[in-house]
Amino acid sequence: MRSGDYNAAVDFVDRNVAEGRGDKPAFIDLERALTYGELGDAAARVGPMLTRLGVRRENRVVMILLDTVDFPVLFWGAIRAGIIPVPLNTRLTADQYRYVLEDSRAKVLFVSEQLLEVAEEAAAGLDMLKCIVVVGKESGNRPRFDTLLNAEEPAPPADTRADEVAFWLYSSGTTGMPKGVMHVHTSPMRTAKYSGQRLLGIREDDVIHSVAKMSFSFGLGNAVTCPMSVGATTVLYPERPTPKSVFDLLARWRPTMFYAVPTFYAAMLAEADIHGPITGFERMRLCVSAGEALPAHLGESWRARFGLDIVNVVGSTEMLHFFIGNRPDAVEYGTSGRPLDGYEVRLVDDADSDVGDDEVGELLVRGDTSANGYWNQREKSRRTFMGEWTRTGDKYIRRPDGMLTLCGRTDDMFKVSGIWVSPYEVEAALISHPDVLEAAVVPAQDTDGLVKPKAYVVLKNGPAPHEPGRFLYEDLKTHVKRAIGPWKYPRWIIFMETLPKTPTGKIQRYLLREN
């Protein structure tokens, strides 16, 4: 073998079989369980299947797949063959899918049967696309994934290199069309060691469930790479999760590690009051949150209700998984934590000069899991990937002891009376009010043209009233003044039924700013 030869699929799949886990369940969904041995056999058939479909080395194949055991088969099988899988969020529109299909120049589209109609609309008339393969039983006149796979014999892995691109993830973003983020073969195992093993202490006997789906970097690390790095088991849920469905899943499988975003933890707490007796936490030892800042009140309420802390972590599609986090044995609510082993961070001003402690600055991160860049977006790549450093677009503040606290996206931060205001801080204060479920804060101008906070609030007790009581309106303002300071309170409060969010649970504040 040449120096530098490495195939991620061999390390994650074949190695587990070689180490004696062939009969152990790797993935479990609502209908099937897939052992490491079965995963290895199926993944080794994907390469010959793709070759028969006209796909060659380094070509792309798009995956619009629900979270079932077929996902890791296709994902690792393509990587094993030196072909690049491109998993996509299953909740995009036909126009968004078409954009990605054209942008990636995918040769084959694999789609879950439930999503075939929107996929066919997106793919209509695309000459580059050779065919659509359906994952499921009802395929119409399209070829079925299981039939094609069963017709092949296992083949050896491709002779790939460590620095070769292995897969793409399209960043969900908060504005505009997504960007194709290119990751190399070595990055998944490195993230698994840095975040899963060293920070969270994931073990072979763990059972994992992630509300975040496998098509996102957070979900891919939670449900696939971190568990498989130690031979653990992941429970998958293909449908759109609700607090009730997740409570039911926890009761059935009793996982030991659980991952979700802050808004989902809040929804679970609200559901717990009406769900009845809560079970499924008997073996739980870790709950993890990412995607947005975790409000201190939410973490404290979760601990009081379930006896478990929520470990807040920070990651990005560009860095593949998380790179900042609270330590499980030293959770400090209201903070983001410190850099993980394997990563360094800087806080810089608008001129990219380092700022001091207790000053707001944009976060740059350095680590060997950074992406190669964005596909076909050179200028954006140059702005984000600055040599060894990656620009995150997030504003942070650092204490003298190194603890970091998220202030907001660069585009979301604003000044009131010359002082930086973090939308997250105001939102956290609002959410700590007993009547508030969710909140989003954006800047707005008053009649004098001065910038002040404007809040959009979702109440706990059902849809927002058309004419909320003046008492509640003023009580929320007073609550924020007492919690974080008199100049930070929202001058306007708009009550809403829901807040606009990305599929990963991030609030789309830009849509609220446009109102």
Tens-digit pLDDT profile for residues 176-205? 578 999 999 999 999 999 999 999 999 999
**Integer Cα distance of 319 and 180 in angstroms:** 13
Nearest-angstrom CA–CA distance, 451 and 414: 8
Give tens-digit pLDDT for 293-330: 888 989 999 999 999 999 999 999 999 999 999 999 99
pLDDT for res 1: 43
Asked if residues 14 and 230 have their Cβ atoms less than 8 Å apart, the reply is: no
Where does residue 268 rank: exposed (0-12), middle (13-18), buried (19+ CB within 10 A)?
A: buried
Q: What is the pLDDT of residues 6-45, one digit of tens each?
A: 999 999 999 999 999 999 999 999 999 999 999 999 999 9
3-class SS of residue 112? strand
108 pLDDT higher than 90: yes
With cut-offs at 50, 70 and 90, classify the pLDDT of residue 369. very high
Helix (H, G, I), strand (E, B) or coil at 138: coil
Average pLDDT over residues 425-450: 86
pLDDT at 119: 97
Q: What are phi and psi of 235, to 5 degrees?
A: -100, 125
Q: Which residue matches tokens 């001065």?
A: 450
How high is the pLDDT of residue 52? Answer: 97
Give residue 387's pLDDT.
93
User: To the nearest 10°, the Cα dihedral for 146, 152, 156, 157?
Assistant: -40
- % of the chain beyond a pLDDT of 90: 74
- DSSP letter string over 434-472? TTEEEEEEEEEE-TTS-EEEEEEEEESSSSPPSS--HHH
Closest to 152 in 3D by CA, of 221, 236, 219, 73:
73
Provide the mean pLDDT of the chain: 92
Distance of CA 128 to the CA centre of its chain: 29
Contact of 178 with 502, CB cutoff 8 Å: no
| 474 and 425 Cβ atoms separated by less than 8 Å | no
Residue 331: CB atoms within 10 Å: 18
pLDDT band at 140 (very low <50, low <70, confident <90, very high): confident
Report the distance separating Cα 226 and Cα 208, nearest Å.
10
Pairing of strands 322-325, 165-170: unpaired
Of 232, 217, 226, nearest in space to 193 by CA? 226
Which residues, 6 or more positions from 481, have their beta carbon under 8 angstroms from its beta carbon? 488, 489
pLDDT class for 507, splitting at 50, 70, 90?
confident
Q: What pLDDT score does 414 carry?
A: 77
Structural domains in the chain, CATH included, are: 8-17+35-185 (3.40.50.980), 194-248+257-409 (3.40.50.12780), 414-513 (3.30.300.30)
Residue listed under structure tokens 């098509």: 215
- 55-69, 275-289, 342-356, 453-467: least confidently modelled range: 453-467
The string over 448-464, giving b where at least 16 C-beta atoms fall within 10 Å of a residue's C-beta and e elsewhere, is eeeebbbbbbbbeeeeb
